[in-house]
Amino acid sequence: MNKLHFKVGLFAAASLLLAGMFVVYLLHARGFFEKTFHLQLAAASADGVAPGVPVVFSGIEIGRVTTLGLNENGGIIIHAEFLGRNAKWLKENSTFTLDKPIVGGAKIRVDSPDLKAPALPDNATMLLLTSDISKEIPALVDRVKAILDNVEHLTRKDGELNATLANAKTVTGRMTGEYGMLEGLLGSPEKARALTDSLDKTRALITKLDGLAAKADQWLFAEKGVAAQTRESLAQIRLLLNDAQSSLKKADVMMTNAVEISANVKDGTQDLAQLRAEIDDAVRKASDLVNQINRKWPFAREPEVKLP
């Protein structure tokens, strides 16, 4: 056995086998063993479509445009070919759209909303829609321009937005000051300080009042507090007042008499001395009463009893 020949034979056999396998694989890949599915697309314009333009379904190429030409009525007929295994994605309710992106080549997009719909027959004719982005660009530019104008108007130097922002800046600047939000609301640190001072004072006052209330409670309503004594005192005062009233009534009678007496001085000299004593008595009683009240009622500082 020739070793050299064996090696070369092995090399040749392996190479031929690999080459054969690759050729079969390539033929399979290119759909040589399958039926070719044909489709015709009617379009209004063949702009951007050329033989070799891919037909894509969900972003995956399933076929290619083979030829394109005009029919009798001047319409455009585009012929596309698909491998048999890819024809199942073409349904009767599929839509075909010509996509012309700004960057990259044109392609025909297939959308099959219902994959359970009946399959498209071979050599069927479908309508090709066009979605041309480049035609929408001028309209888009117009709208963007209008928006930019608005933005420019809003952001001009003496615009409302600027003023608002300036105000917001002032307020937030104050808020970061010593008195925080209060300063922001009231406008200056002095006012804010005044408010906090008042609050402090009020707080102190309330504390004092609290204590006072507790004391008053004790003083007024305890077992032998002021309230109980006052009740007794009021009873005495009523007696005193009755006394005073009777005295004053007497004085009244005296005064009536006095009027008469003044008319007849002669008869009334004795009576005048008596009247004098009576009035004195009434005034003493009234003053007594006031003193009593003063003792019981410590708030009235300047009691006045006016004589009638």
- The answer to whether 248 and 256 are in contact (CB under 8 A) is no
Contact 154, 160 (CB under 8 A): yes
Nearer to other proteins (CB atom), residue 64 or residue 191: 64
CA within 13 Å, CB half, 285: 20
∠ CA(294), CA(299), CA(301), 5° rounding?
65
* Cα–Cα dist 196/203, whole Å: 10
Based on the shown chain and the rule CB under 8 A, indicate whether residue 1 belongs to the binding site for other proteins.
Answer: no
Question: Can you tell me whether residue 264 is helix, strand or coil?
Answer: coil
What are the tokens at 86? Answer: 């890819």
- What is the closest distance, in whole angstroms, from the C-beta atom of residue 46 to other proteins in the complex? 23
Do 121 and 139 meet the contact criterion of CB atoms below 8 Å apart? no
Q: Which is nearer to other proteins, 7 or 201 (CB)?
A: 7
Query: Closest CB to other proteins among 109 and 191?
Result: 109
Least distance from C-beta 16 to other proteins, angstroms?
9
Rg of the chain on CA atoms, in Å:
59
Question: Please, which residues bridge with residue 42 across strands?
Answer: 77, 127
Instruction: Please choose, out of 21-29, 131-139, 185-193, 291-299, the segment that lies near other proteins by the rule CB under 8 A.
Output: 21-29
Stretch 23-42: interaction string toward other proteins, x if CB under 8 A: --xx-xxxx-----------
Tell me if 12 contacts other proteins by CB under 8 A: yes
Q: CB-wise, 1 or 239, nearer to other proteins?
A: 1
Residue 300 makes contact with other proteins by CB under 8 A: no
Q: Which of residues 41-100 bind other proteins (CB under 8 A)?
A: 60-61
| 7 touching other proteins, by CB under 8 A | yes
Site for other proteins (CB under 8 A): which residue of 4, 139, 239, 307?
4
Least separation in angstroms between residue 103's CB and other proteins is 11
Structure tokens at 300: 């009235």
CB of 28 to other proteins, least distance (A): 8
* Closer Cβ to other proteins, 54 or 184, answer by number: 54
Stretch that binds other proteins, among 16-24, 171-179, 194-202, 234-242 (CB under 8 A): 16-24
Backbone φ, ψ for residue 203 (5° rounding): -65, -45
Three-class DSSP category at 59: coil
Q: Rounded to whole angstroms, how far apart are CA atoms 31 and 85?
A: 9
Length of the chain: 308
- 12 sits in the region (left: phi over 0; alpha: psi -120 to 50; else beta) called alpha
In this chain, which of 17, 20, 22, 47 binds other proteins, going by CB under 8 A? 22
Q: Which helix (H) or strand (E) holds 82?
A: strand 76-83
- Residue whose CB is less far from other proteins, 62 or 244: 62
The correct pick among 1, 13, 17, 18 for binding other proteins (CB under 8 A) is 18
The contact set with other proteins (CB under 8 A) reads 4-5, 7-8, 11-12, 15, 18-19, 22, 25-26, 28-31, 60-61
